[in-house]
Structure 1
Amino acid sequence: MEQLSQIFKKNRAEELPDDLWENFVLPINYQQYNLLKETKSVKVVGGRGTGKTMYLKYHAFSTQFSSKREQIPESALDVIGIYWKPDTHFVQLINENYIGKEWNSVFNTYVALSLLSKFSEFANTFLKSNYSDKTLKSNIENFIIPNILSSELSSHSLTLLELKKHVRGLLYKLQNWLHNPLKKFSIVLDAKATINYLVNELTDTNLLNSSSFHIFIDEFENFRGEQQKIINTWMKHGENPLLFSVAFKKHAIVSKETTGNETIQQRNDHRIIDLVDDIYANNESEFKILAAEIIANKIHNYSSTLVEFIDPKLISDQTMLNKRRSPAYKKEILNLVTTIFPQFTYEDISQQMLNDSILSDKIKKNIKQALKEKKSDININIYFDNNFSKETVVNSILLFRKTTKPQELANTFEEYKQGINNKKTIAYKEQVSNSIVGAILYIYSSFPKRICPIYAGFDRFCTMSKNNLRHLLELCYQSFIELENNSKNLEKIKNTLPIVKIDLQLKAAKFCSKQELDTISELGPYGQDLQKIAHRLGRIFYLKQKIRTQSQPENIHFSVETLSLQTLDPKVTELLYQAKLWNIIQEYDETTKDTENNLATKEYMLTPILAPYYKITMRKIHKIVFSISEFKTIFLENDDSYEKLYESFIHKWKIDEIFEDRTKDLGLFGEQY
């Protein structure tokens, strides 16, 4: 039996079978985003790791007619989904510069052959499914491809089932031809006309007379611009019984043009579904429920005795959504995952800090230093109380603020401890709530070999993932790796609910954070530039975390002082686009927005999975506002220019304690090389 960690290792759709029944967890607000109910084309968008491929594959025949689906309703044949992802390298070769004006017919032929193969796969999947109509199955099994089509495919007689093998041979020939295109390819097909003809033959008979087909094309951004125009034309003019839809990375620049003079228009021709904004993260609580169900279902698949109340047959079935929406079910599922991945409250962390001699001494030294600078002789113990740990930690940074008067804070703290409610104690309570995370991180920033406990726990894993399911699964995977590596009895893990201790979660979080930073260099043609930008931003946010007043705590996002994208260097604009495309930086709109390209009304957040590595917050609380010049230096200038900017921030933010930048060469767990 494989170990639990291996169940979580597969965090990409490509690592899973096309049949996702009992593996794909339907979001609880799924019904209004059912692709099989759409009557026009759809563009599905989402960042890297948000589950675009999984979402498309769920709607395709491999899942809808899964052999694991015990009861398949007749309505499953109303709309039959076909999933197709192109060979990126192959489609890039199909261009006019390489093969001349014949590129269009070659592209159409390639798509037609690929989709014909998928229709053959559908027939095979349908026959193996639990669909109850045996007569229909027999008719599908014996369906003969019409002669007019089979002759175009250089064949005399083919069944739908035999079509895949024959087409595979033609695709092989096409691929070989493309590497030496000295003469015309032997077969020329118009993709839409070919598929439309086959669909009409299937639906005009008694076989599938009430069915329509919806083609889902993945990784649309990887097609060449002229190829996208062809697909856009199919989308714009799609109608029952054949529709085309696409999926691509959010922020990807894709063509809206067609092969004619028209463009494809939202609302009129297609609908846009944003997987994160519309489905997975409509609100934070919904994403946590989805995340909890994904974790619970994987553990159930590992050992059903560990999670008995999860039924894999329900999670992929839209008829069971109401049951999963019940408060009792949500409570049970959240209790389960928070048991597996426990976390310390901020009160817990603060209390541990006071009980830790090194951290406690740091807090006392800060209080003493602040009082010295304000020439106050008040005893430091007035601000230090083991029974009020959060307040004590926050007191150590409040005293550094210019507006804080030591005696006034001492009086307020005493009244607060006595339970007196007045304007000052209410304001003080709010200050503690707003500043506690920043204060904790500030104290921990002085000890690079320690990992702050705020990065452990299911809720915080969700926050660090920021709706990126791949990051969530990677955090779980590494956590279970740590659990297994530190367990003396692996058999016990198989037979009891796994509980990952907080220190093991922290190691996993730090590892995932470092791993993500390393991976950035591999993302697209600008990977190394994006890695440098992420590291520069991370260092600046870490530096801001060293401000002892923490008057604007928790920085992981920024904005830029400019009114238009046109004022930015084109190279900077391109790098910003690439950072958004690869989900290294996440873009948000502010409340007010004057113009479409107004950066002053946009905010940008560094992906929070990097927070543990840089010892910064993973929450979007306070932002840094960069000037155009500062922004350009971070994104474009050489290391010497960046280091000068970095030094200027040290002076600007008055980081006047002895400060050694430990983010330049941080090792995996904070050690310096």
Structure 2
Amino acid sequence: MDGSIPSKTRAEEHDADIWGEFFIPPYFERLGLKTATKSTYIIGKRGCGKTMLLKYFDYHTAFSARRHEISQDEISHVGIYWRVDTQFCSSLQHRGIATDHWQAIFESYFSLYIAIEIIRSLRTIAKSAYRDFNVDDFEGLKFESIPDFHPDFPSGALELENFLAKVRRSFSTWISNVAVTPQPLLPPGKIFLEALIEDIKALPSLSGASFYIYVDEVENLVPYQRRVLNTLLKHSQRPLIVNFTSKEQSSENQTTGPEWVNATHDYRLLDLDKLLVEDERPLFFSEVFLANLSLASGNNNEEFVTRLQSIEYIADRRGSEYRDQILTQMKQRFPSKAYKDFAADALNDSALYRTLEQKITRSLQAQKTEVKAEDFFKYLMVPDALVVVPALLNRSSLTPSKIISELDEYAISGTGSFRTSWVQNNLVGALLELYRPYGRECPLYSGFDTLCTMSNNNLRNFLILCYKALEIAELKDEDVSVISIATQCRASYDAADQLIREIKTFGQYGEQLRIFVLRLGSIFRALQASPAMSEPEQNQFTINSGHRALDARELNFLSEAIKYAILVEQIETKTKGTVGTDIIDYQLNPIYSPYFQISYRRKRKLEISTKDFEVLYSGNEDEFRTLARSVAKVPKETDDRQLGLI
């Protein structure tokens, strides 16, 4: 197996030409990018497949040398993907130059970059299987109108490409030395591109050419630069259409003039996270994983792979028989068990058995009751009930005798409080707490359905989990066709650890966001460690109290956490209280749950004040520990290590 293929979980790790590596998503027909007559704004969180989609439409792939046949109508959509160089574009401001001057400079830089790419796209088309334009045609191509802009601008395609590339290098040098280096001559913005394209369309073989520019991560541009691009987007029409992509929709909608852009009149807004509907995700994620394994094994021409790469088979992939076959295959590769079986396994493990016995004994001793631990262990036949007993013994409303009575009823007839609520509400939390002292391999983090839930419907996260499991299985010399539960759990922890470390690279708040995740996860773990375990599966919070509203800085921080999918916004769930109304619930991304040994399921939430939130994201360590102890409502003698705060 070619290990480099499964290791590529980011589109940036792939070459510009991804022909044969891209799999058609179920929503492909709903995109309509190739037939669009106005601009498109594509948004989607990290890992949703946005960049891979854009690379598929880019000319490197559309006119790939690996394509044996290219239809004539392909020329109607020549895609050019431009991922914004944030650092370079950020340098195009201030330094003694007025904003309106920078505005003209940036528009010229944009036309310079895109003009070079347009010429390169023609060279790629000429070398491809596209029959109506060949290398001789490219080398003989003349841009008759280009010298009109300046006598130094050559008209030949090769000469112009080399000239513009030289100008671009000179421009980079000038940007680094604006005070001492003369500004190079730049092409004059959109009008230059329009003239270039008009000369291209003068050729009968390229008369149907249209160029679609996809500007990725547009939200990272300086505000004046977004206004320049907004202007280009607003006035886009064939044969030159400017499109945007970003993690979330940009809040900068003004143009360089008095106009504004909006989704109603100026562009189509496509949210990829919403286009891939919930019941389509497990199947598509499975298809991508299995197809990548086929590619890694050298089976590039396997029927399963080629069908995923063809638009013609989208409808066939919706069939129930095909769906069941793929999902069954994934569930067999990533097996799991019912929670009750996990409880039985725990009781068959001597270390976990002793831990449970100690928990029950301590609780009984604290109550000074005559009931003994062995009275409970008579009910080994109902392990799912027995595992939650320590939590029940720490509730003042319940007596040991009452719990034993309920155990007896549950064991005999399967009815009673264990059946109606106690097991359902507490088993997952009790298992997590039972396994927590033993580190990384809690079996709850296993199984195909669990991997889908933990990935939070994000393709990249799902692939990271699956590939990590494969990697560990191979290191352990296990059968990779059926990955053990222990290996899956270790992989889940390692993936969560990797992704938490990665947070520090997330923009200007990276390190602060990482600390915030560590603190929030630790609080949920401390809540789980509460002996009574009345709220064992808290992994979300809402900010609904305090003497003030969130300020602009706090709202901006929340926005960044949501943009990078560290927090997941949820529609309000029902609350216990009768005072006030919650507006938004924020769930800690379940991909991080194995790291903290907390639940990945969206169940219960924590209500915090604006002051609590301020401590979470910007307080010092002493303030955070005080908050954690207060929220968890634990006795003073409970140490930080026991709470999971160390």
TM-score (norm 1): 0.86
Specify the alignment match of 1:531 in structure 2. 514
| Cα pair distance change 1:322/1:647, threshold 3 Å | same
Spell out the pairing of 1:169-180 with structure 2 (5 A cutoff).
Answer: 169-180=166-177
| Cα pair distance change 1:659/1:119, threshold 3 Å | closer
Report how far residue 383 of structure 1 moved. Answer: 6.6
Q: What is the letter of the counterpart of residue 393 of structure 1?
A: V
CA distance in 1, matches of 2:301, 2:103: 55
Specify the alignment match of 1:443 in structure 2. 434
DSSP-derived class of the 1:27 partner: coil
Specify the alignment match of 1:330 in structure 2. 323
CA contact (8 A) 2:347 2:383 kept: yes
CA distance in 2, matches of 1:655, 1:352: 34
Specify the alignment match of 2:337 in structure 1. 344
DSSP-derived class of the 2:269 partner: strand
Specify the alignment match of 1:649 in structure 2. 631
Specify the alignment match of 1:545 in structure 2. 528
Spell out the pairing of 1:569-588 with structure 2 (5 A cutoff).
Answer: 569-588=551-570
CA distance in 1, matches of 2:531, 2:28: 46
Specify the alignment match of 1:51 in structure 2. 49
DSSP-derived class of the 1:600 partner: coil
DSSP-derived class of the 1:63 partner: helix
Deviations 1:535-584 (A, max 9, x none): 111110100111233332212111101499x7224433332233223332
CA contact (8 A) 1:482 1:508 kept: yes
Report how far residue 25 of structure 1 moved. Answer: 2.3
CA distance in 2, matches of 1:203, 1:637: 61
| Cα pair distance change 1:573/1:25, threshold 3 Å | same
Specify the alignment match of 1:115 in structure 2. 114
Structure 1 unmatched ranges of 5 or more: 488-492, 666-673
Deviations 1:496-525 (A, max 9, x none): 854433323323222222232233233322
CA contact (8 A) 1:383 1:413 kept: no
Q: What is the letter of the counterpart of residue 88 of structure 1?
A: T
Report how far residue 615 of structure 1 moved. Answer: 1.1
Spell out the pairing of 1:553-572 with structure 2 (5 A cutoff).
Answer: 553-562=536-545, 567-572=549-554
Specify the alignment match of 2:348 in structure 1. 355
Q: Which of 119, 127, 138 matches 1:141?
A: 138
DSSP-derived class of the 1:470 partner: helix
Specify the alignment match of 1:78 in structure 2. 76
CA contact (8 A) 1:22 1:315 kept: no
Report how far residue 259 of structure 1 moved. Answer: 0.8
Specify the alignment match of 1:457 in structure 2. 447
CA contact (8 A) 2:361 2:372 kept: no
2:462 is aligned with 1:480 = no
Task: Using the TM superposition, name which of 400-409 and 583-592 deviates more.
Answer: 400-409
Specify the alignment match of 2:241 in structure 1. 243
CA contact (8 A) 1:65 1:125 kept: yes
2:373 is aligned with 1:392 = no
Task: Using the TM superposition, name which of 358-367 and 293-302 deviates more.
Answer: 358-367
CA contact (8 A) 1:36 1:80 kept: no
CA distance in 1, matches of 2:466, 2:393: 39
Q: Which of 299, 304, 311 matches 1:318?
A: 311
Q: What is the letter of the counterpart of residue 397 of structure 1?
A: A
Report how far residue 619 of structure 1 moved. Answer: 2.0
2:162 is aligned with 1:168 = no
Q: CA RMSD in A?
A: 3.2
Report how far residue 408 of structure 1 moved. Answer: 5.3
Q: What is the letter of the counterpart of residue 64 of structure 1?
A: A
2:263 is aligned with 1:266 = yes
CA distance in 2, matches of 1:412, 1:128: 77
CA distance in 2, matches of 1:310, 1:371: 63
CA distance in 2, matches of 1:599, 1:102: 49
2:236 is aligned with 1:255 = no
CA contact (8 A) 2:454 2:600 kept: yes
| Cα pair distance change 1:163/1:27, threshold 3 Å | same
CA contact (8 A) 1:562 1:599 kept: no
Report how far residue 299 of structure 1 moved. Answer: 0.8
Report how far residue 243 of structure 1 moved. Answer: 1.4
DSSP-derived class of the 2:432 partner: helix
CA contact (8 A) 2:228 2:255 kept: yes
Specify the alignment match of 2:586 in structure 1. 604
Report how far residue 347 of structure 1 moved. Answer: 2.9
CA contact (8 A) 2:108 2:186 kept: yes
DSSP-derived class of the 2:536 partner: coil
Report how far residue 382 of structure 1 moved. Answer: 5.2
TM-score (norm 2): 0.89
Spell out the pairing of 1:586-625 with structure 2 (5 A cutoff).
Answer: 586-590=568-572, 600-625=582-607
Q: Which of 515, 520, 530 matches 2:503?
A: 520
Specify the alignment match of 1:303 in structure 2. 297
Report how far residue 419 of structure 1 moved. Answer: 4.9
| Cα pair distance change 1:188/1:161, threshold 3 Å | closer
CA distance in 2, matches of 1:599, 1:571: 23
| Cα pair distance change 1:515/1:205, threshold 3 Å | same
| Cα pair distance change 1:387/1:577, threshold 3 Å | same
| Cα pair distance change 1:254/1:97, threshold 3 Å | farther
Structure 2 unmatched ranges of 5 or more: none
Q: What is the letter of the counterpart of residue 31 of structure 1?
A: E
CA distance in 1, matches of 2:34, 2:213: 10
CA contact (8 A) 2:371 2:401 kept: no
Task: Using the TM superposition, name which of 84-93 and 168-177 deviates more.
Answer: 84-93
CA distance in 1, matches of 2:301, 2:392: 49
Task: Using the TM superposition, name which of 633-642 and 160-169 deviates more.
Answer: 160-169
CA distance in 2, matches of 1:504, 1:413: 34
DSSP-derived class of the 1:561 partner: strand
CA distance in 2, matches of 1:526, 1:599: 30
Specify the alignment match of 1:217 in structure 2. 215
DSSP-derived class of the 1:660 partner: helix
CA distance in 1, matches of 2:340, 2:302: 32
CA distance in 2, matches of 1:602, 1:98: 44
| Cα pair distance change 1:168/1:345, threshold 3 Å | farther
CA contact (8 A) 1:350 1:390 kept: yes
CA distance in 2, matches of 1:270, 1:89: 27
CA distance in 1, matches of 2:643, 2:168: 55
DSSP-derived class of the 1:618 partner: coil
CA distance in 1, matches of 2:336, 2:35: 41
2:274 is aligned with 1:291 = no
| Cα pair distance change 1:560/1:14, threshold 3 Å | same
Spell out the pairing of 1:6-155 with structure 2 (5 A cutoff).
Answer: 6-100=4-98, 101-131=100-130, 134-137=131-134, 141=138, 144-150=141-147, 152=149
Report how far residue 136 of structure 1 moved. Answer: 4.0
| Cα pair distance change 1:47/1:384, threshold 3 Å | farther
The share of aligned pairs that are identical, in percent, is 27
CA contact (8 A) 2:59 2:79 kept: yes
Deviations 1:271-328 (A, max 9, x none): 222222332xx21x422222211211111011156x9966332223222211222222
Deviations 1:586-639 (A, max 9, x none): 22232699xxxx993111122222212211112221111101221111122222
DSSP-derived class of the 1:215 partner: strand
Report how far residue 378 of structure 1 moved. Answer: 7.8
CA contact (8 A) 1:121 1:161 kept: no
CA contact (8 A) 1:571 1:636 kept: no
Specify the alignment match of 1:660 in structure 2. 641
Task: Using the TM superposition, name which of 307-316 and 35-44 deviates more.
Answer: 307-316
